[in-house]
Amino acid sequence: MLPSFPGYGGSYEGFNFLGLGGLVLVGFAWFGYRKSDISPRTYLRQERALTVTAVSLTIFAISNTLAVGPIGFSLPFPEPFSSIANVFRSSGRMFWPVYYLIFLGLIFTVVRSFSRKVALRGLAVALALQVADTGAAWLPIRSYFAAPPASQWQSNLTDPFWDKAAERYGTLRLLPPRNNWNRWSEFASFAQKNDMPTDIVYMARFGDSRFDPYEVQAFERLEKGTYEPSSLYVVQVEHRETARASLDKSIDLIANIDGVTVIAPGWMSCIDCLAVFDPKKPDN
């Protein structure tokens, strides 16, 4: 319901917003608690392990980086504690279990403090407000990840070239390599379907030190025009001109196929390949 305002960099997983529905629920639960016999201390004593865990997670989530809006600073965090903490990576997500406990506690208080009819109406109002208030954040995520119902995943790689290329080449590669390239899922699916090893993937984690030499090698290929005859290459659009300038077009094919630039080594000397794909087709 409120307009967006600047935040501190990297704090997205620490943005544990209760939402308008949650804030209304806080007021509703507080009103019920004041006239009920609920004793929070009794529950906290009964669930000591859960209480200690929640407090510990909250302290870890606060972390050594503090911010108000876009202004923030980090306090020094000595070794070996820093290395231990880095195992858990993003600290903000550690508050998520506590966040859910807060809502469970609020719902429990409302249900215990009011009649069934009043509690249901109050929870329904809070839910409607929550959906309206937080939808601006999760609806775009849902539309990004959700797929229309289908018995088979539809790929945009429809040109006959791909079937012939899958027969001719054993490996599928991206130049230069990039994690989570914008069309990675199409080509990862194509490689899986045709049993082709590929580096066009989305990895949750990868080591930069091992990745850097591979990236240097890829740039050398683009500049010198030297490609493995058993590999099919997809070139990122910003490096297309570099690839075109160094390529021996009498031997290798460079073309725009289904919206991507492809380099097919040795394609021009393959009669069957030329019958599938016209090398005079524009590659812009």
DSSP 5-36: ----TT-GGG----HHHHHHHHHHHHHHHHTS
Q: Does 282 reside within a domain?
A: no
List Cα–Cα distances, 225 to 20, 231, 236, 250, 252, in angstroms. 58, 13, 15, 12, 9
For 171, the domain range is: 161-276
Domain membership of residue 2 (yes or no) is no
Q: What pLDDT does residue 279 have?
A: 64
Contact assessment for residue 71 and residue 8, using Cβ atoms and an 8 Å cutoff: yes
Q: Is pLDDT at 283 greater than 60 in this prediction?
A: no
Please write the tens of the pLDDT for every residue from 228-261: 999 999 999 999 999 999 999 899 999 999 999 9
Q: Are residues 247 and 126 in the same domain?
A: no
Q: What pLDDT does residue 282 have?
A: 52
Please indicate, yes or no, whether residues 141 and 196 belong to a single structural domain of this protein: no
One domain for residues 101 and 204 = no
Percent of the chain with pLDDT over 90: 56
pLDDT for residue 284 is more than 50: no
Q: Tell me the pLDDT tens digit for each residue of 123-173.
A: 999 999 999 999 888 888 888 788 777 777 788 899 999 999 999 999 999
Instruction: Indicate whether 108 and 189 sit together in one domain.
Output: no
Residue 89 has what pLDDT? 78
**pLDDT value for 76:** 86
Structure-block tokens of residue 135: 């939808």
Boundary of a domain, candidates 94, 116, 145: 145
Higher local confidence (pLDDT), 9 or 95: 95
Higher-pLDDT residue of 21 and 8 is 21
Mean pLDDT for the stretch of residues 96-115:
94
Query: Of all helices (H) and strands (E), which one includes residue 141?
Result: helix 116-145
Q: Is residue 262 pLDDT above 80, yes or no?
A: yes
